[in-house]
Chains A and B, each alone.
Chain A
Amino acid sequence: MTATFTVEGLKVAIGAANVLRGVSLEVQPGEVRGLVGESGAGKSMLGRAVLGLLPANAAVTAGRIAFEGRDLLAMAEAERRRLLGRRIALIPQDPMTSLNPVKRIGAQIGNLLRHHLDLSKRTALARAAELLTEVAIREPERVLALYPHEISGGMRQRVLIAMAFACDPALVIADEPTTALDVTVQRQVLQLVERLRLRHGSAVLFVTHDLGVVAKICRSMTVLHAGRVLEEGETANVLTRPRHAYTRALLAATPRADRPAEALRPVPPALIEQLWSEAHRLDDVAAVDAA
């Protein structure tokens, strides 16, 4: 079976600084994979590289990003644009700034559907109303005629989720979609993503720093630190038996009701190198164990 999404040895540099230093990961069809790490670990940069949204001063220096076996980086611009938004979709981080403020919700969803699915204006609007119903928005026709500033942040995020799943994508990259929302809305959004991915048969790469979110919805997870993969595997295994000191620190830093959280201290570069070699030793140990 071809993986939906494969990243191999991806390196991204901003100027002289390497933000991704050889990241590999795989997402199988229908899989929900969490991509976790603290701020600056490079998890958002990975998503941006896939979507062609790297900042102007950043460049992919090595590696491969493949979607359903086809190399996204080597592909012609026009061909990649046909995939983006249709087969590969994004749920953005901040619902407040991610919708065009001067265009009605209906026009924004409608344009996306017409762009990729070649629908008529009327069919597109009817389909947009259905999509809003799917994300539990009541009176969808009324909402279609509203501007983004006229609906709440949670509702905007639901509109953005509807847009992500609009063309039945094979892969949805959710870029910290719950970070900007308050806790009660967060839960609704997670349930929605779960419901829609099942209905549309999409795999999800869920980028987050929230291990609680990962535990809830991701079957597998990848831990990123300082541009490298430190640990990856089934979520249950990684969370209950973290192999790496950093993952343990990350877990300890998660606030819980029954104990105070430990501060996740910033890790100095020298220590990162040490951690990295340690991780490899761990891998070696694991390999020896397996043998």
Chain B
Amino acid sequence: MRWGELIRRLVLVPPTLFGVAVIVFVLLRVVPGDPIAMMIPPGASEADIGRLRALYGLDQPILQQFATWLGQVASGDFGRSISVRQRVLELLLARLPATIELALLATMIAVVLGVVAALAGILLRGRRAEWIVDGGIGMLLAIPDFLWALILLLLFGVLIPLLPISGRIDPEIDLNLRSNFYLIESVLAGRFDIAFALLHHMILPAVALALPFAALVARLLKASLAEAEDQDYAQIARARGYSRPNILLHEVFPNALIPTVALGGVQVTLLLGGTVLVERIFSYEGIGNMAIDAVINRDFPLIQGLVLTFAVLFIALNLVVDLVVTMLDPRLRYG
């Protein structure tokens, strides 16, 4: 990607986020459901309801509300959560690292599994055993992440209780960490006991998120490998006396990686979306879990903050994918 292209993409970020903000803001207010109704005890007086409404600015016209909120957001203030009564920004900053770490771990697991499955499949290409790999990939792809979460929870949390089934870490462990990136910080600081305890909790939700994504990576990569192996340069490599594993690894794989990253990379957004239900199932304290509570409570400021956060993550991810593809494909450089 050229610098001009990168700048163009960055310039487009604010209008994109503005669009997202408009849509979520308006949708929340036209869809039935009222945060005040969720807060008040039964039998509250009309006057009390009116006062609460005024307190959160919900008595004003939508345009006015939007202008006020946008002004606050522009100065870094996402408002105060109605249900949790804390600043939305603080809530997000506390919970987002947990989700990012979970998604990163899941992506790593998925890439390792996917690459191994794709290589196994391509080595067996044309043989009957290729069918087994394809079948396995299809099965993984057919079962959604939240169902994997329930299956894994039953298997390794209940039937064979090997792993904890809820939370991010045991509450009795004294973390004493500076950031909320517990796993990354504890690994960097060499505190592997904490890292291990964290991984113990993260492994089930991470695998649940990783399995369908691994299948996607495997299918994309295997198809790309097959296509690249049929190209002239790979055929000619055979005529130069290179062995097939050598050709697959050194000639075919670097080429097959390009479409796989380009198509599969943006699918990490699916995995991020999957964190909502999977975090819920494992009571993992990330933003996905928080999003469900926010929706149930019609917590307008928190939902708006969460949606913007997800939008930023998606945009950043797409940008990173494009940069990586540019790194992998010399034909896209300089230009």
- Chain A interfacial positions (CB closer than 8 Å to B): 51-53, 56, 80-86, 89-90, 92, 94, 97-103, 111-112, 115-116, 147, 149, 163
State which of B236, B242, B251 has its C-beta within 8 Å of the C-beta of A90: B236
What residues of chain A lie closer than 8 Å to B237, measured between beta carbons? 100
Q: Do B240 and A101 have beta carbons less than 8 Å apart?
A: no
Name which residue of chain B comes closest to A149, CB basis.
B331
Name which residue of chain B comes closest to A94, CB basis.
B232
Q: Do A85 and B242 have beta carbons less than 8 Å apart?
A: yes
Q: Do A52 and B254 have beta carbons less than 8 Å apart?
A: no
Q: Do A81 and B255 have beta carbons less than 8 Å apart?
A: no
Q: Does B32 contact A (CB under 8 A)?
A: no
Q: Give me the 5 closest cross-chain CB pairs, A-B, nearest first.
A: A85-B240, A84-B241, A85-B241, A97-B232, A51-B239
Q: Does B258 contact A (CB under 8 A)?
A: yes
Given the known inter-chain contacts A147-B330, A149-B330, please indicate yes or no for A100 contacting B233, CB distance below 8 A.
Answer: yes
Contact code string B227-243 (vs A, CB < 8 Å = 1, else 0): 00001111111111111
State which of A85, A101, A116, A149 has its C-beta within 8 Å of the C-beta of B239: A85
Cα–Cα distance between A94 and B236 once the two chains are bound (Å)? 11
What residues of chain A lie closer than 8 Å to B236, measured between beta carbons? 90, 92, 98
Given the known inter-chain contacts A102-B255, A147-B330, please indicate yes or no for A53 contacting B242, CB distance below 8 A.
Answer: no
Cα–Cα distance between A81 and B244 once the two chains are bound (Å)? 11
Given the known inter-chain contacts A56-B126, A94-B232, A102-B328, please indicate yes or no for A51 contacting B238, CB distance below 8 A.
Answer: yes
Q: Do A101 and B232 have beta carbons less than 8 Å apart?
A: no
Cα–Cα distance between A103 and B226 once the two chains are bound (Å)? 19
Contact code string B298-335 (vs A, CB < 8 Å = 1, else 0): 00000000000000000000000000000011110000
Q: Does B250 contact A (CB under 8 A)?
A: yes
Cα–Cα distance between A83 and B240 once the two chains are bound (Å)? 8
Cα–Cα distance between A172 and B15 once the two chains are bound (Å)? 60
Given the known inter-chain contacts A97-B231, A100-B255, please indicate yes or no for A90 contacting B239, CB distance below 8 A.
Answer: yes
Cα–Cα distance between A52 and B331 once the two chains are bound (Å)? 31
What residues of chain B lie closer than 8 Å to A103, measured between beta carbons? 251, 254
Cα–Cα distance between A52 and B251 once the two chains are bound (Å)? 18
- Chain B interfacial positions (CB closer than 8 Å to A): 126, 231-243, 250-251, 254-255, 258, 328-331
17 more A-B residue pairs beyond the given contacts A84-B239, A100-B251, with a C-beta to C-beta distance below 8 A:
A51-B239, A81-B243, A83-B241, A84-B240, A84-B241, A86-B241, A89-B240, A90-B239, A97-B231, A97-B233, A98-B233, A100-B237, A102-B255, A102-B258, A103-B251, A111-B250, A116-B241
Across chains A and B, the number of contacting residue pairs, with CB separation under 8 Å, is 66
Q: Do A115 and B233 have beta carbons less than 8 Å apart?
A: no
**At the interface, is chain B mostly helix, strand, loop or mixed?**
helix
What residues of chain A lie closer than 8 Å to B241, measured between beta carbons? 80-86, 115-116
Q: Do B232 and A53 have beta carbons less than 8 Å apart?
A: no
Name which residue of chain A comes closest to B329, CB basis.
A102
What residues of chain B lie closer than 8 Å to A102, measured between beta carbons? 254-255, 258, 328-330
What residues of chain B lie closer than 8 Å to A89, measured between beta carbons? 240
What residues of chain A lie closer than 8 Å to B240, measured between beta carbons? 84-85, 89-90, 112, 115, 163
Cα–Cα distance between A189 and B22 once the two chains are bound (Å)? 63
A81 to chain B, nearest CB (A): 4
Cα–Cα distance between A86 and B258 once the two chains are bound (Å)? 31
Q: Which of A52, A82, A100, A163 has the most CB of B within 10 A?
A: A100
Cα–Cα distance between A85 and B236 once the two chains are bound (Å)? 9
What residues of chain A lie closer than 8 Å to B232, measured between beta carbons? 92, 94, 97-98
What residues of chain A lie closer than 8 Å to B330, measured between beta carbons? 101-102, 147, 149
Cα–Cα distance between A166 and B4 once the two chains are bound (Å)? 42
B266 to chain A, nearest CB (A): 21
A-B contact pairs, 9 of them (CB 8 A): A51-B238, A81-B243, A84-B239, A90-B240, A97-B232, A101-B255, A112-B240, A116-B241, A147-B331
Name which residue of chain A comes closest to B234, CB basis.
A100
What residues of chain B lie closer than 8 Å to A56, measured between beta carbons? 126
What residues of chain A lie closer than 8 Å to B243, measured between beta carbons? 81
What residues of chain B lie closer than 8 Å to A94, measured between beta carbons? 232
Cα–Cα distance between A94 and B231 once the two chains are bound (Å)? 11
Name which residue of chain A comes closest to B240, CB basis.
A85
What residues of chain A lie closer than 8 Å to B254, measured between beta carbons? 100, 102-103
Q: Which of B235, B236, B237 has the most CB of A within 10 A?
A: B236
Name which residue of chain A comes closest to B250, CB basis.
A111
Q: Which of B233, B243, B258, B328 has the most CB of A within 10 A?
A: B233
Q: Do B235 and A53 have beta carbons less than 8 Å apart?
A: yes
Cα–Cα distance between A98 and B238 once the two chains are bound (Å)? 12
What residues of chain A lie closer than 8 Å to B250, measured between beta carbons? 111
B229 to chain A, nearest CB (A): 11
B258 to chain A, nearest CB (A): 7
A9 to chain B, nearest CB (A): 23
Name which residue of chain B comes closest to A112, CB basis.
B240
Q: Which of B234, B237, B240, B330 has the most CB of A within 10 A?
A: B240
State which of B126, B235, B238, B331 has its C-beta within 8 Å of the C-beta of A101: B331
Cα–Cα distance between A83 and B250 once the two chains are bound (Å)? 20
A42 to chain B, nearest CB (A): 18
Name which residue of chain B comes closest to A107, CB basis.
B250
B242 to chain A, nearest CB (A): 7
Q: Do B242 and A115 have beta carbons less than 8 Å apart?
A: yes
Cα–Cα distance between A92 and B331 once the two chains are bound (Å)? 22
What residues of chain B lie closer than 8 Å to A53, measured between beta carbons? 235, 238-239
What residues of chain B lie closer than 8 Å to A92, measured between beta carbons? 232, 236
